[in-house]
A and B are shown apart, each in its own frame.
Chain A
Amino acid sequence: MDASSIIDTLTAAVPGASFEAGASVDFATIYVPARQLVETCRTLADHPSLRFNVLIEVTAADYLPREPRFEVVYHLLSIPNRQRLRVKVRVASNEIDGVVPTVQSVWPGAGWPEREVWDMFGIVFAGHGDLRRLLMPEDWDGHPARKDYPVQIRKPAQTYQPLEVSEDEFKANIERDRQKRAH
């Protein structure tokens, strides 16, 4: 199934969305508007002729200075149909804040890959309950995989005072973490 027939199926199932086939050398690529992303992914996963049941990965690329600057890339796999699909969402530099909705409701495994994309690129996923630093330290500034982030930077050595929390504060912290966690 090539990109145009996937787009035909999607256009029939998701009203009001405009899809676009992308150039590719390996398998079908489609551009999806961020607003209809969740609905589209739901269709991709559940439609009897598509059945993309595995989310392989979520990643992003920074095309500075091009505008829209970012592309969030989803690689999907359909085991029943032996097929792959690349879904791309364009994100402009003035709208990185919460434009891309999370697809955790479709594939629960999207949680950490989306967290990593936020950590590395600063693209906020709307509705993601647990958007914390994943690979970088919690107090890190900036998003290192962006093209305008310097490759080699020197940070002054930091010293930390020993952490002093009372037993009650400790318990409250644990409880707060529990509330925050998505799963």
Chain B
Amino acid sequence: MAELRTETMTVNMGPQHPSTHGVLRLVLELDGETIKSCMPTIGYLHTGIEKTAEQKKWQQVVPLVERMDYLAAQSNSLAYVLAVEKLLGLEMPQRVKDIRVLIAELQRMASHLVWIGTHAMEIGAVSMLFYAIRERELLLNINELVAGFRFFPSYIRVGGLREDLPRGFHEAVNAFLDRFPGKIDEFEALLTKNDMFNRRTQGVGVIAQEEALAWGLVGPIARGSGSDYDVRKYFPYCGYETYDFKVPTATEGDVFARYRVRVEEMRQSVKISRQAITRIPPSGAWACDDPRVVPPPKDKVYTEMEALIQHFLIYSQGFTVPAGDAYVPIEGPRGEHGCYIVSDGTNRPWRVKMRPPSFMAIQALPKIIENGMIADVIAVIGSTDVVMGDCDR
């Protein structure tokens, strides 16, 4: 009998594949259904935001960086704003810190909702997407209430916030926080106890803790492998050390472990948000009182010459930032979301660099999926929760 001719097959997955979360292209080499090698290709969403930011004034960069990780817009702007404030040496009033914590946690829930919806849909639980997007809609409504913009509110500004909280903000947030824990229970009833979901996710895409850290996957991926590293606990910012919450971890390191970590993170976010909303008084300071950065109140602008000049200078030339560099990390929904800025002492940044968690996750993707089955690729990509806007910038 003639010898059977065997060879591997190369399959191009993406860039327009519905399950690749944007435009990620994977060149997979298959032996039957086993993946022998995987080569990710990125850059399809590269828009040069970091280069553009060098041409803008410091405050004008905030809406730009929000467009990087478009599912967690305010994580980007929070990291950038904290980095600029670090160079300026600004200290925020307590109310501003609490509002920023609340906004960051609402953003984390919104991002995790998109993740749980798309991740579950891709491995078969199609209806999950509608339930998750319905809850996210409420969070987008809160964004709209706060800033008039649903996706990219640009509400967090250098020096504080854009304006004070609107009327009805506390009611809207409280209504969401009362409703949401029951919805997480429903999600879990649909997925955690779902035999099909368990079989698709358990033991799939395993990565060990040391490997995850060596590849820079700090965030939910490393916490699914047993690491307890969370920027909010290790390097607290905005007063996170005063909040009572746990860092969920799992030890299995598979897709299901990362799922459990993120679901529990949503519960912890509810817990933090409840503490934050009770701490925020309905009215009070919404920006620091540094005249370099924050314009004087309008009634003074109309009556005092110096205030008018200051107002004019801030809006025409912007403010200058002392020369130097700073890196400030925050815990974004996808892991450590850092911003490195360099200033040359002028009113425009010399360099802005975001540390993208999705970029590191896609780099490590071949490590996770090689020697796995092709059907599991979808589950693994979903569990890394990559956003291509964050990856390509």
Interchain CB contact (< 8 A) of A79 among B39, B213, B367, B392: B213
Interface: B360 (CB within 8 A): yes
What is the total number of residues of chain B having a CB less than 8 Å from a CB of chain A?
49
- Do residues B213 and A25 form an inter-chain contact, with CB atoms below 8 A? no
- Report Cα–Cα, A53/B29, bound state, in Å: 32
Contact: B51 with A144, CB < 8 Å? yes
CB contacts (< 8 Å) of A62 on chain B: these are 351
Total chain A interface residues with beta-carbon distance under 8 A = 40
How many angstroms from the CA of A67 to the CA of B311 in the assembled complex? Answer: 38
Knowing A56-B336, A137-B43, the reply to whether A82 touches B216 (Cβ < 8 A) is no
Report if A59-B340 is in contact (Cβ < 8 Å); known contacts: A79-B229, A82-B234, A183-B367. Answer: yes
A21 within 8 A of partner (CB): no
- Which residues of chain B have C-beta atoms less than 8 A from A134's C-beta? 42-43
**Closest Cβ neighbor of A111 among chain B residues:** B363
Kindly identify, within residues 233 to 257 of chain B, every residue whose CB is under 8 Å from any CB belonging to chain A: 234-235
- Selecting from B57-65, B176-184, B325-333, the interface stretch reads B325-333
Indicate which residue in B43, B215, B234 contacts A109 across the interface (CB closer than 8 Å): B215
| Inter-chain contact A26/B326, CB cutoff 8 Å | yes
| Closest chain A residue to B231, Cβ basis | A77
For the complex, give the distance between the alpha carbons of A159 and B86 in Å: 48
Q: Is the CB of A108 within 8 A of B213?
A: no
Interface SS of B by simple majority: mixed
Q: A86 at the A/B interface (Cβ < 8 Å)? A: yes
> How distant is B292 from chain A, measured CB to nearest CB, in Å?
16
Residues in chain A near residue B39, CB distance under 8 A: 177, 181
A-chain residues with CB within 8 Å of residue B51 when the two chains form the complex: 144-145, 151
Q: How far is the CA of A178 from the CA of B38 in the complex (A)?
A: 10
B136 contacts the other chain (CB 8 A):
no
Closest to B40 in A: A112
CA distance A14 to B8 in the complex (A): 47
Task: List chain A residues, Cβ under 8 A from B50.
Answer: 145
Indicate whether A174 sits within 8 Å of B87 (C-beta atoms), given known contacts A56-B338, A75-B327, A145-B50: no
What's the Cα separation between A42 and B72 when bound, in Å?
A: 35
Complex Cα spacing A181 to B37, Å? 10
List residues 116-173 of chain A with CB under 8 A from any CB of chain B: 116, 133-137, 144-145, 151
> Which 9 pairs show the lowest CB-CB distances between chains A and B?
A109-B216, A109-B215, A112-B363, A135-B46, A135-B43, A57-B355, A59-B353, A61-B351, A79-B229
